[in-house]
Structure 1
Amino acid sequence: MMATILLRSQPLQNCFSIYRGLPCNSLMADSCSDRTPLHDAAYQGRLLNLMELIAQGFQVNTLTMDGVSPLHEACLGGHHACAKFLLENGANAQAVSTDGATPLFNSCSSGSAACVRLLLQHGASIHTTPQLASPLHQAAKKGHRECMELLLSCGAQIDVELPNVGTPLYAACRAPSAQCVELLLHSGADVGPGCGQDSPLHAAVRAGEANIVELLLEFGAEKACRNSEGKTPLDLSAPNSAVRAALQRKGPCSLTQLCRFSIRRSLGRLRLHRTSNLLLPQSVINFLLYR
């Protein structure tokens, strides 16, 4: 009986040795392990503790059973100093957890623009293979405009539609985040695609955000579009609501508005920033850029 207890307790002793501050088992350094003090220190932003643990021999890229690294945790906590220290000590900026999250995704989740900027400087990819964990979609979903600005400035795909998530614009409308919706629209996002047949306008109406509805309509959203249930945005709006009033107030697009849509589409999102260089009156340039 005693022998059995000793045999069963041996693996536990190996695990507990980690928490006593001893160096990690070199055989486990590159494989999945349970959550370590390094993960906790990174998530809680305890930089000095992190330095001590690394000095004691903890491996900077040690993963949990779910593939979560200490850098994942530092970014999820929004701790720039900890993330910087981990990266300087060899942390993998491209680490992907089992659910497809990267440190960049976690930074967008926490809203830490400083961590986003840091990871981009260390070569983090804005396009992840597991498409259910897109940094841009997460920033839009959480309403973190500054993170989105950084990603878009690095060429993030603005109209990518993910299964069950939709486009970044759709995610921002669902949030709802008027600031993120405005940024995406001014950056050239297509106002039509959402999630399947559900449009961003449908999402904004469900969220009850009249200001977002007005923004979408101003950028050419189609009021008559129907979702998979055959319903238009007006069908989804509550009676006597500000959202319904906004939908009913907006009439057909004027000729000048249609011209604006056409010119912006011809320029394309990647060339919108060059509109100011066109040989046009400043008033026309301001009109094209919604200034």
Structure 2
Amino acid sequence: MGKTADMIFGEHITSDDDRPTSECDIKEVVRSMFSGIGGAEESKLHVAARRGNHELVRSLLSGRPIKPRQLHIDMSRHPDLSFDREEFYGEITEAGERLARESLNRRDKFGCTSLWIAASRGHSETVRVLCESGADLEIPNVKAQTALFAAAKHNHVACLKELLDAGANPEGSILNLSTPIYIAARENFVEILRLLIKYGADVNGRNANLIGNSPHFGSVPLYMTVVYRNFECFKLLILNGAELQTSSNDKSRGSNAVKAVLRHQCDVRFLKLIALCGGFQHGDRTYIDEAAKVFGQFRHGQSSMRQECVAFLQELCKQPMKLTHLCRISIRRSLGHNRLRSLKDLYLPASIKRFLLFTELLRDEVSI
């Protein structure tokens, strides 16, 4: 169901092997996404949200009937028109309030609410007004993309912040096989990724494929940062506890972090971070020798970056890591990525917390 699945679930990912998957009832998914649409038409609230006119949105949600002549004004020709003037409003009525409540979460023919439209267009003031008015934050469109997903996909940082502050789920809809953090990692949206992590998004991706108890590397957001060589996003994910002890799948050449870095010709900074965060079994040359041998024999696509990475791998076992680095790896591994964000709240000296959280690496170049 190739193209159909892309239309329904919203995001094209590099290949079938790279696509996050989960088991679900397709009938229930489709029924949920298309419920309440039917022959839905675009409402005046939808139009106001698309134009980013938060004053008109507030007026439409107030329950006051706007005069007929006002409803037919082309707002694109009158961008400076104010709606604070008393002549534009009637008295608040029970029918008007009921109509406002009904229109707040109404979906158009594509399943988009006014909040979704405003978030996708980057109108943060309109998003704030709709959130304050009680708009449902989790209603997806026909592609199972929530308003937060739309804001993340289009790199609208201010809108994303408004939605997260209002309590939107940073993981998006469970009906979508992709997640906001996966899209941010792929598109190199650093600030979007930073916000999602801060508000609790899973750095390994909600839908990561599991082989045993470990995620398959091709299904996690970290893999997207390697494929597209997005180092800043790679750094954010790995320093916030993204899983490095991934399972291997012999059918996929990019099944683990080291091989993926070499395959996609990333620079040596990627490998240095992997080493610092415990991605190598200290003292075990088998894994490193295998990677160096396989990729050292490449004839096509050989590059100075890959040669530098292979040289780094070969040098890695010749000198042990610092004891402080090994302690940090052990402590972070014991905590796990879900508890890492709480480390700053522990009663520890600030210098130790900064060291354990790699605060210096968030600002400076990577060195070991």
**TM-score (normalizing by structure 1):** 0.70
1:76 to 120, 131, 146: 120
> Contact 1:43 / 1:75 at 8 angstroms: preserved in 2?
no
One-letter amino acid matched to 1:199: N
One-letter amino acid matched to 2:316: P
Matches of 1:53 and 1:232 in 2, distance apart?
A: 64
Question: What does 1:23-62 correspond to in 2, within 5 Å?
Answer: 31-32=37-38, 33-35=40-42, 38-48=45-55, 50=57, 59-62=103-106
Q: Deviations over 1:38-60 (max 9, x none)?
A: 44543443445545666656823
> Contact 1:224 / 1:232 at 8 angstroms: preserved in 2?
no
- Aligned-residue identity in percent: 24
Gaps of 5+ in 2: 1-35, 67-98, 210-215, 281-286, 361-368
Show the counterpart of 1:104.
148
Partner-residue secondary structure (3-state), 1:75? helix
One-letter amino acid matched to 1:162: A
> Contact 1:214 / 1:246 at 8 angstroms: preserved in 2?
no
| 1:260 is the counterpart of 2:328 | yes
Show the counterpart of 1:193.
246
> Contact 1:224 / 1:233 at 8 angstroms: preserved in 2?
no
> Contact 1:145 / 1:180 at 8 angstroms: preserved in 2?
yes
Q: Deviations over 1:180-237 (max 9, x none)?
A: 111111111112438965234444445433133443344343565999xxx9666778
> Contact 2:124 / 2:158 at 8 angstroms: preserved in 1?
yes
After superposition, the CA RMSD in angstroms is: 3.8
- Relative distance call for 1:200 and 1:178 in structure 2 (3 A) is same
One-letter amino acid matched to 1:185: I
Show the counterpart of 1:14.
none
Deviation at 1:158, TM superposition (A): 1.8
- Relative distance call for 1:225 and 1:134 in structure 2 (3 A) is farther
One-letter amino acid matched to 1:167: V
Matches of 2:308 and 2:130 in 1, distance apart?
A: 52
1:149 to 176, 185, 194: 194
- Relative distance call for 1:77 and 1:240 in structure 2 (3 A) is same
> Contact 2:276 / 2:329 at 8 angstroms: preserved in 1?
no
Q: Deviations over 1:86-136 (max 9, x none)?
A: 223342211112322111111111222322221123221223312513122
2:301 to 225, 230, 238: 238
Deviation at 1:245, TM superposition (A): 1.2
One-letter amino acid matched to 2:331: I
Show the counterpart of 1:67.
111
Gaps of 5+ in 1: 1-29
- Relative distance call for 1:77 and 1:224 in structure 2 (3 A) is farther
Show the counterpart of 1:247.
310
Question: What does 1:102-251 correspond to in 2, within 5 Å?
Answer: 102-127=146-171, 128-160=173-205, 161-162=207-208, 166-193=219-246, 198-210=255-267, 211-222=269-280, 224=288, 238-250=301-313, 251=315
Matches of 1:233 and 1:45 in 2, distance apart?
A: 52
Matches of 1:191 and 1:268 in 2, distance apart?
A: 11
> Contact 2:241 / 2:340 at 8 angstroms: preserved in 1?
no
Deviation at 1:265, TM superposition (A): 0.5
> Contact 2:343 / 2:353 at 8 angstroms: preserved in 1?
no
One-letter amino acid matched to 2:169: S
Show the counterpart of 2:139.
95
